[in-house]
Chains A and B, each alone.
Chain A
Amino acid sequence: MNTPHNVESGISRRGFLQVITLGSAGFMLGWVPRDGLSAEVSTTSFGHFVRIGSDNAVTVIIKHLDKGQGVTTGLTTIVADELDADWMQMRWEFAPADATRYNNLNWGPVQGTGGSSSIANSWTQLRVAGAGARAMLVSAASKVWQVPVGEITVSKGVLSHADKRHATLGELAIAAATETPPDPPRLKEAREFTFIGKRVPRIDTPEKTTGRAHYTIDLSRPGMLTAVVAHPPRFGAKVAKWDASAAKKIVGVVEIIEIPQGVAVLAKDFWSAKRGRDALNVEWDERAAEHRGSLELWQAYKELAAHAGAPARRDGDVEAAFARAAKVVDAAYEFPYLAHATMEPLNAICELRADACEIWSGAQSPTTDQQVVAMITGLDPSQVIIHTQFAGGSFGRRAAPDSDYIAEAVHIALAIKGRAPVKLQWTREDDMRSGRYRPMAYHVLRAGLDANGKLIAWHHRIVAQSFLKGTPFAAMVKNGVDGTAVEGARNLPYTVENCAVDLQMPDVGVPTLWWRSVGHTFNGFATEAFFDEVARAAGHDPVVWRRELLAGHPRHLGVLDLAIDKAGAAPTGKGQGRGVAVHESFNSFVAEVVDLTVHDDGSFKVDRVVCAVDCGIAVNPDIVRAQMEGGIGMGLGAALREAVTLKDGVVEQTNFNAYQPLRIDEMPRVEVHIMPSTVTPSGVGEPGVPPIAPAIANALLAVTGKPTRRLPFT
């Protein structure tokens, strides 16, 4: 840690790549290199995460993907604070794929972004990196100025001694490189923070509001071909035979090849490749394909739900408790497949050589990608070089354990023997029909109450596919239980002596994946919506009863009380009502209060959402708020309308005309309140999602008396 590295000279990797991109992309107006570096600037590395240039730019190496959640700002903030830098001198660049340096500390030897863990796992690591560099700079100043270390102050990127001597971080960087940092360096007390806990403007806003931000879709390499692939209509089908005679006549089409995933048309640009793909004639071998439609799957799931699954939690004696219960409440809930539908349809660029394979992509899990690419090419994982790019959304999609779309790009490059760099670009239709959906799920819940209305038994059975079984992440499946399918259900926080959760994991040919907040997407709904049904059946006020049964869970209670307090009086107009839900995910706690209006025709509009979040220290409160707003909007959209359905194994939704995320007119007013905290930060990318749908269901139940047991609502 903080071992000084040789002074190196050169422009940054990211800047370099973009210069190349620029060169081959024709004219580009007003382009400014991100780092503002020129070739003459020398940079000094302070460990693996901090570089300081002679131009006084401080660059933080970002080991996580920024897919919108703001980690480029958040991680840079942590370093800037401990370094006592000036915010204006801060720069960033994505780390290369190198799990020996840039692994996710929560995941062991794997580099990756997910589970809302970026800030949480980097918190101490980057504070140490910043504080270590600061100590080295102070030590260098003390030698140059011949004054004691203790008399030197650092503020806004300037080291000073007694108001007489001053030097910038950049001026002392080279001298500091040979200093040894204290191990461990002194870290700040919370009251000393200058940026953490305050609003720092997003570091990526300027380029993302001017069209200058580059995503994979925007990059180009010399001689690059663009590939559009004909994929089978059913999951698990293979190419039987194909006829490319019409496709070959399309101007711009260069080559047509078969790959394991389908038939790829390579052309000089996307438009030609797409026209070529549309002109292809492919016959599919569907013998091994999944032919079931949604109706057949629901049927199978319901049959499975009649049988006990693998136990995920077993407290007390549930059967005996139900036997003596004065009242039993039952409900079953249905959750559809959900598409991530990232705004940027998935893509990757692959450049294959004999000794290396370079990938440009919005990589959420570079280590897995390296392993997959190595397996396909026969290279060593260390020969797989990944250039991480901004991702136009991900929500888990870019972390498929089989790196599906990256593998596809590599197969194409391999099929043409690396003759040209290949950009694989999916159309929206390819993206929507690619599977890797949030699993559809059937949940059966049962609660037992004694004669006094006390909750004495709770049983939750989940039927949902495991997307980790048989993958490199299979260690997360234990004793027949995929942890991601029961998260948020097996750790039900409510006091109940007899509690059982079990899981059935059916095999279905439709590939599934983590989707923003993963198992919490359905478990948060099932537990929180069912809680209100039970409360009402027992004659309790749902919020009062929640508070009672959350004894021993102060952080749940904290956000619940904060949200309810800030929400004020509930609306009382015609058709108006309020619903509340609270849920923990990824070590963060979120409560949401929904006010809505039900119209005479049964339709409803969410008017207002008041959200309280406890994520420990909020490194950047404005980004925390933004993540809650976005999580609520995305969760609301899913609850209202989103569903991927199949007919005879074919996905019925192919574009945004049929699969409809939230639009602006449906976005409610959202107010976010952050619980003050001194606890180590936890994540915010996902935890805003789970409570919104059940809070709506609970409001609808309050107004109409009818429970919502099937998503989407409409």
Chain B
Amino acid sequence: MTAIKFELNGKPITTDADPEMPLLWYLREQVGLTGTKYGCGIAQCGACTVHLNGVATRSCITPLQAVVSAKVMTIEGLSTAAGKATQAAWQTLDVVQCGYCQSGQIMSAAALLAKNAAPTEADIDAAMHGNLCRCATYHRIRAAIHQAATNLKAGSA
């Protein structure tokens, strides 16, 4: 078995873990990065969302072998401008309730804002549709994405 190499939160990783193992469980149980959550295991809830080369990706159905040579970013390593703005807006508006879905929500929102600086309601619906929140914090998620977009614009102006 050849070792799998990729970049995780800016650091090189080399592992001989089972290439079939979903990235989610590798992150959580082999690396100890528990901010990425398990909710369904079948790409239906978004709790496990990470960035794979900047794209919001469900880590529960992404086998380790699919991330070879890729850049993986988790909530713990979220350091992009869009990511920081997203977290700040989430904090200002107190979006969270139980909080369990929120790593995934923030990762999806940060990926959206990185490629779309002024998302419309429809853009938000499309980008966030895969992220369930059982506490139904959607009202504030939407408001926080708009606020993050506004702050990003002000910051880059």
| Interface, chain A (partner B; CB < 8 A) | 25-30, 67-70, 201-202, 204-215, 217-218, 251, 269-271, 341-345, 390-395, 427-428, 622-623, 626, 629-634, 636-637, 655-657, 661-665, 667, 669-670
Contacts and interface: CB of A to CB of B under 8 A. Distances in A.
A211 B35 contact: yes
Nearest to A26: B32
Contacts of A629: 136-137, 139-140
A367 to B, nearest CB: 22
Contacts of A395: 134
A633 B136 contact: yes
User: Closest 9 CB pairs between A and B?
Assistant: A211-B35, A633-B136, A392-B100, A68-B98, A26-B32, A208-B99, A68-B97, A211-B75, A25-B32
A428 B41 contact: yes
A670 B141 CA distance: 13
Contacts of B106: 209
A672 to B, nearest CB: 10
Contact of A662 (B28, B42, B101, B138): B138
Given A25-B34, A68-B99, A343-B47, 13 more contacts: A202-B94, A205-B95, A205-B96, A209-B90, A209-B91, A211-B75, A215-B37, A271-B22, A391-B98, A392-B37, A393-B134, A629-B136, A661-B132
A657 to B, nearest CB: 5
A68 B25 CA distance: 25
6 contacts: A210-B35, A271-B29, A343-B39, A633-B137, A633-B139, A663-B132
B59 interface: no
Interface of B: 9, 18, 21-22, 25, 28-42, 44-45, 47, 74-77, 87, 90-91, 94-103, 106, 124-125, 128-129, 131-142
B103 A664 contact: no
Contact of A655 (B44, B74, B103): B44
Nearest to B145: A664
A661 B32 contact: no
Nearest to A685: B97
B31 A664 contact: no
Given A26-B31, A68-B135, A664-B125, A655 B40 contact: yes
A667 B75 contact: no
A214 B34 contact: yes
Given A69-B97, A626-B94, A664 B45 contact: no
A210 B32 contact: no
Nearest to B131: A664
A320 to B, nearest CB: 46
B44 A217 contact: no
Contacts of B45: 343, 428, 656
Given A30-B76, A209-B106, A211-B35, A204 B96 contact: yes
Contacts of B44: 655-657
B97 A270 contact: no
Given A26-B31, A632-B136, A664-B138, A209 B37 contact: no
Given A67-B98, A205-B90, A428 B40 contact: yes
Contacts of B21: 271
A632 B138 CA distance: 11
B134 A664 contact: no
A26 B29 CA distance: 9
A34 B25 CA distance: 26
B32 to A, nearest CB: 3
B31 A27 contact: yes
A693 to B, nearest CB: 14
B137 A626 contact: yes
Given A205-B90, A670-B139, A392 B76 contact: no
Contacts of B91: 201, 205-206, 209
Most chain B Cβ neighbours within 10 Å, of A28, A211, A271: A211
Contact of B133 (A215, A271, A343, A665): A343
B125 A665 contact: yes
A211 B135 contact: no
A568 B45 CA distance: 37
Nearest to B42: A655
Contacts of B132: 343, 656, 661, 663
A667 B138 contact: yes
Nearest to A206: B91
A25 to B, nearest CB: 4
B133 to A, nearest CB: 7
A211 B74 contact: yes
Contacts of B136: 629-634, 636-637, 661-662, 667
Contact of A633 (B28, B101, B138): B138
Contacts of B35: 210-212
Nearest to A29: B76
Contacts of A341: 134
A210 B87 CA distance: 7
A667 B135 CA distance: 12
A269 B29 contact: yes
Nearest to A212: B35
Contacts of A25: 32, 34
Given A204-B99, A215-B100, A392-B99, A630 B135 contact: yes
A211 B100 CA distance: 9
A68 to B, nearest CB: 3
A489 to B, nearest CB: 25
Nearest to A667: B138
A634 B101 CA distance: 15
Most chain B Cβ neighbours within 10 Å, of A343, A391, A394, A622: A343
A283 B134 CA distance: 34
A269 B28 CA distance: 10
Contact of A663 (B39, B98, B129, B140): B129
Contacts of B25: 269-271
A251 B21 CA distance: 12
Contacts of A209: 87, 90-91, 95-96, 99, 102, 106
Contacts of A391: 98
A662 B136 CA distance: 7
A626 B95 CA distance: 8
B96 A208 contact: yes
A667 B142 contact: yes
Nearest to A27: B32
B68 to A, nearest CB: 19
A17 B25 CA distance: 22
A316 to B, nearest CB: 41
Contacts of B18: 251, 271
A210 B90 CA distance: 10
B141 to A, nearest CB: 6
Contacts of A206: 91
B34 A343 contact: no
A626 B90 CA distance: 13
Most chain B Cβ neighbours within 10 Å, of A70, A206, A207, A345: A345
